[in-house]
Amino acid sequence: MEVQERRTYKAVIGLEFHVHLATTTKMFCGCRVTYGDPPNTHTCPVCLGHPGALPVTNEKAVELGVMAGLALNCHVADRAVFARKNYFYPDLPKGYQISQFDEPICTGGHIDVPTPEGRIRVGITRLHLEEDAAKNVHVGTSGRMHGSVGSLVDFNRGGTPLMEIVTEPDIPSPEAARATANQLKDILRAVGVSEADMEKGQLRCDANVSIRNPDGTFGTKTELKNMNSFRFVERGLARELERQREILENGGRIEQTTLHYDPETDEVHELRSKEQAHDYRYFPEPDLLPLELSEAWVSGIQARLPELPEGMRARFVEDYGLSAYDAGVLTSDRNLAAFYEKVAAEVDAKQASNWISGDLRAQLNEMGVGIAESRVTPQHMIELIELVQNAEISRSTARTVLEKVFETGDAPTAIVEREGLASMGGDELSGVVDGVIADNPNEAERVRAGDKKVIGFLVGQTMKATRGNADGGRVRELLLEKLDS
Ligand code: ADP
Ligand code: ZN
Ligand code: MG
């Protein structure tokens, strides 16, 4: 048997995102954009596709699209054209989706992404605006069409503003794909163009993946459709790369297909092959004028662009002396970053970072809430950190107090007082220290003689005697004072 030459398998990945824009009304009509309202309560002749109903472009949606484009370092076109993308599906009553085709609003951007393999720059090919389809609800199953007894259509989502963002095939691994998706989500949230809540389906991702040919050229790609969790994007891509590698190792060829990744079985299934894909017969939407985006209007938006996560991270490192990692954690959530800045203005910035990116965030995660929904305020955090700094409570007591702030929304000082959590101090602590010295004459003598190592033992004995209800630093000070004289 011939021994096959070993080859390396270099992944090539490009991502496509669909993002719901944070507008109050739909893309081409005045119906409200809502989540979870009763089906078909936000519809009109335009978004139901009645013949003769005329669309009107939502200016806010265009503004948000341009904002996103600027945040992604894109070129904003001075002219953009809506086009009809023709296909049939029950969730698309007009028989076409209004989208953009060869003249999108934004092109040629990039984002810089920290990945396990280092920083990479991922090109943004294009960003365009379109309308979402309605929502098909399959009855009698867990939601899949297969095996259902019938399907219903909820047109509340039909015609809601959607932005599509396409990256260049610049991403080298499933891990980097996940990092890229996260970075994009952070940027969109920071700019405020979308809540980008994946559980509400506000952000969906398709992943294109191939393995480079031995000569370095691109191989045939497959596409993993419609993933609503970045963890699954990473796992799905890893699984698909494994499948492609196996085919190539067995001398086979990759077929260009569209796939679905099932996280439960960790398998990919073919949806439809590209050869049978629709011909969308795009043509310019005759009912809408091209968008004319004046330079003045675009630079007005540029001027209002909020600070982006990258810039904010660098500023946190510079202004507060934080590590890049801590700065990254704090700035990944705009509300948390604002919370941090209020606290760091009053107390030691490093302490504030430790508490907020550590204990506070852990409790938020545990309860599954954001800082904005929790009962903890910056003032609470400042008080808590000051209590620890002034040695009025120990660090471990402070953790308990923080939990109680979460539960009750009461101020830390009030909780400490009410529950008698203050560290032992004054004469009481002094008396306990005297007792420990009396009970351990040998160790005390060694400290007096200059052997400072034994001090730890005596601190430990004192903490034990107070049942941990004392500040270790204060105890140490007291012992040294008493044994020095
Ligand atoms: P299609 O014509 O199939 O829509 P495009 O060239 O428009 O393909 O690219 C769609 C997406 O696929 C983009 O995100 C792009 O970066 C990515 N892509 C293109 N070629 C490859 C490839 N060989 N391997 C992986 N991803 C690719
Ligand atoms: Zn409508
Ligand atoms: Mg394409």
Alpha helices (H) along 153-262: 174-191, 230-249
Report pTM: 0.77
Instruction: Reply yes or no on whether the pLDDT at 4 is more than 60.
Output: no
pLDDT value at 65 more than 50: yes
From the CB of 474, is ligand 1 less than 6 Å away? no
Distance from the CA of 16 to the center of ligand 3, in angstroms?
9
d(CA 361, CA 283): 50
Q: What share of the chain has pLDDT > 70, as a percent?
A: 97
Q: Is the CB of 405 under 6 A from ligand 1?
A: no
> What spacing in Å lies between the alpha carbon of 167 and ligand 1's midpoint?
8
Residue 423 in 3-state DSSP?
A: coil
Tokens representing residue 288 in the block: 């809408």
Q: Worst-scoring range by mean pLDDT, 180-184, 425-429, 451-455? A: 425-429
With H, G, I as helix, E, B as strand and everything else as coil, classify residue 137: strand
Closest listed residue to residue 313, CA positions, set 19, 54, 29, 113 = 113
Contact 207, 233 (CB under 8 A): yes
* Residue 174: both structure tokens together: 């499933």
Q: Which of 351-365, 399-413, 445-459 has the lowest mean pLDDT?
A: 445-459
User: Which-ligand-closest: CA of 166?
Assistant: 1
| Ligand 1 neighbourhood includes 410 CB (under 6 angstroms) | no
CA-to-CA dists, residue 41 to 32, 33, 36, 45, 336, angstroms: 9, 11, 11, 13, 35
H or E segment and range at residue 152 = strand 150-154
For ligand 1, is residue 218 a contact (CB within 6 Å)?
A: yes
Distance 262 CA to ligand 1 centre (A): 22
Tell me the domains of the chain and their CATH numbers.
Answer: 12-300 (no CATH), 307-419 (no CATH), 426-484 (1.10.10.410)
Which residue minimizes the CA distance to atom 14 of ligand 1?
14
Q: Which ligand lies nearest the alpha carbon of 161?
A: 2
Beta-carbon neighbour count of residue 206 at 10 Å? 18
- For 385-416, how does the pLDDT look when each residue is reduced to its tens digit (9 = 90+)? 999 988 788 888 899 999 999 999 999 999 98
* DSSP reduced 3-state for 194: coil
| 12 close to ligand 1 (CB < 6 Angstrom) | yes
In residues, how long is the chain? 485
- The pLDDT tens digits for 110-154 are 999 988 888 899 999 999 999 999 999 888 877 777 778 889 999
Closest CA to 322 of 345, 351, 359: 351
Instruction: Compute, in angstroms, the gap from residue 440 CA to the centroid of ligand 3.
Output: 79
Which pLDDT band, with edges at 50, 70 and 90, does 275 fall under?
Answer: very low
- The ligand with the least distance to the CA atom of 11 is 1
pLDDT at position 2 is 52
Residue-level pLDDT at 480: 86
| Averaged pLDDT score across all residues of the chain | 91
DSSP structure class, residue 31: P
CB of 168 shorter than 6 A to ligand 1? yes
Contact (CB, 8 A) for 169 and 208: yes
- Position 3 scores a pLDDT of 55
Give the bridge partners for 79, in sequence order.
292
Buried b / exposed e over 161-182, threshold 16 CB at 10 Å, is bbbbbbbbbbbbbbebbbbbbe
Residue 335 has pLDDT above 70, yes or no: yes
Instruction: Give Rg (Cα) of the chain.
Output: 30
Render pLDDT for 210-246 as a digit per residue (tens, 0 to 9). Answer: 999 999 999 999 999 988 899 999 999 999 999 999 9
Q: What is the pLDDT of residue 5?
A: 59
pLDDT digits (tens, 9 = 90+) for 303-334: 999 998 888 999 999 999 999 889 989 988 88
Q: What's the rounded mean pLDDT across residues 165-193?
A: 95
Q: Determine the pLDDT at residue 74.
A: 98
Give residue-wise pLDDT tens across range 462-484.
988 887 778 788 888 888 888 88
